[in-house]
């Protein structure tokens, strides 16, 4: 079955093998016809003669032997295993090549410049003529929407916000107190710039602390559905360029996330914690406030981080500790449990 139902995904084919190889950044096998056209992409197991596929995981070499795909992207050392009738396109990183080829056949829909009649745009807002403002969207006073940016249906851009060029802001997103760079993607339901969880405890109860910072998001950031990113209290909440947030991630006030970080679904980061560049955090992990997570650190799923993490460290467990220590303790506990069961049986 060809990937990309045309009801939902724009079609970009047909494409020649030469164009596919160029998009992938790979080398077309000698003897393959560079002008041969393919119509789409599909999984290796189901692809037909008019479709391109890829092999990145060696566990699926059996599927390669049986494939009927018109072309397969794969590493050079596997090219000899490509069956007759299938053109090989070799490259060092087949998965990255696949991403580019899939985009070649299914490009993102271009913006449809203009403001929908039902949208509400404040007269003082600046909307580039090439931007698309969807139905029932609201653009607040003094807000700026950059060229080529798409604002989805029902999305609210608060007063003074700046959205850079070529951004894709999906439906029902709320953005306030925020400066957003270029080529940023935000999926439905996300809320950016709301008040952080800040209050003073007094004899009379909780006293709200004004949240006077902003959210500053760098270029090429992707933010999943239903995320919440609080604005800073006095300084800014910052998300560095190229970072990826999965769905349902919570980023508290004053958090600073570096460049090219990855936060998987349901991660929660407490206030004023700093993540340096290229930090990876597994799903459902949580971090206490005012911590420092070093460059390139990896935090495993469901870990509870309560202390600073050095650069390059791998942390597991709750409370989180170095992965080697956690695994040794788990192994010891299993051995002790096994001995206890054997002793009980005796």
- Please report where in the chains the tokens 């407490």 appear, as a residue: 270
Q: Is the distance from CB of 221 to CB of 184 less than 8 angstroms?
A: yes
- Residue 220 dihedral angles phi and psi, to the nearest 5°: 60, 30
- Please report where in the chains the tokens 């349902």 appear, as a residue: 248
Question: Which residues does 335 contact at the CB level (< 8 Å), separation at least 6?
Answer: none
Cα–Cα distance, 103 to 106 (Å, whole number): 5
Q: Is the distance from CB of 326 to CB of 316 less than 8 angstroms?
A: yes
Catalytic (active site) residue 253: yes
SS3 279: coil
The separation between CA 183 and the C-alpha centre of its own chain, rounded to angstroms, equals 13
Cα–Cα distance, 158 to 173 (Å, whole number): 11
Q: Is the distance from CB of 157 to CB of 143 less than 8 angstroms?
A: yes
Annotated catalytic residue, options 106, 116, 253, 290: 253
SS3 166: coil
Q: Is the distance from CB of 323 to CB of 309 less than 8 angstroms?
A: no
Provide the β-strand partners of residue 263. Answer: 245, 281
Q: Is the distance from CB of 309 to CB of 321 less than 8 angstroms?
A: no
Question: Which residues does 14 contact at the CB level (< 8 Å), separation at least 6?
Answer: 37, 38, 39
For residue 327, which of 316, 340, 314, 313 has the smallest C-alpha distance? 316
Active site amino acids = 253
């Amino acid at each position: 079955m060809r990937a990309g139902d045309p009801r939902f995904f724009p079609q970009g084919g047909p494409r020649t093998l030469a164009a596919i190889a160029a998009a992938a950044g790979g080398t077309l096998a000698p003897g393959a016809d560079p002008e041969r056209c393919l119509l789409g992409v599909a999984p290796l197991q189901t692809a037909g003669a008019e479709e391109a596929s890829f092999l990145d995981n060696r566990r699926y070499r059996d599927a390669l032997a049986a494939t009927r795909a018109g072309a397969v992207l794969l590493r050079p050392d596997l090219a000899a295993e490509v069956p007759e009738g299938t053109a090989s396109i070799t490259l060092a990183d087949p998965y990255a090549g696949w991403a580019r080829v899939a985009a070649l056949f299914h490009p993102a829909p271009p913006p449809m410049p203009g403001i929908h009649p039902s949208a509400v745009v404040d007269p003082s807002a600046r909307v580039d003529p090439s931007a698309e403002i969807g139905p029932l969207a609201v653009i607040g006073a003094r807000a700026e929407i950059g060229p080529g940016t798409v604002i989805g249906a029902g999305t609210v851009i608060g007063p003074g916000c700046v959205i850079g060029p070529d951004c894709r802001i999906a439906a029902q997103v709320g953005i306030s107190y925020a400066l957003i760079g270029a080529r940023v993607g935000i999926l439905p339901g996300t809320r950016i710039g709301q008040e952080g969880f800040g209050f003073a405890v007094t004899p009379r109860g909780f006293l709200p602390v004004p949240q006077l910072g902003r959210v500053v998001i760098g270029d090429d950031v992707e933010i999943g559905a239903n995320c919440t990113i609080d604005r800073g209290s006095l300084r800014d909440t910052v998300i560095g360029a190229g970072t990826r947030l999965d769905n349902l991630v919570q980023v508290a006030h004053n958090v600073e996330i570096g460049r090219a970080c990855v936060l998987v679904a349901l991660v929660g980061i407490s206030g004023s914690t700093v993540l340096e560049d290229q930090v990876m955090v597994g799903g459902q992990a949580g971090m206490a406030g005012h911590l420092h997570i070093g460059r390139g650190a990896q935090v495993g799923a469901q870990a509870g981080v309560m202390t600073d993490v050095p650069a390059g460290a791998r942390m597991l467990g709750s409370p989180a500790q170095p992965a080697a220590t956690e695994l040794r303790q788990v192994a010891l506990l299993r051995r002790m449990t096994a001995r206890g069961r054997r002793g009980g049986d005796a």
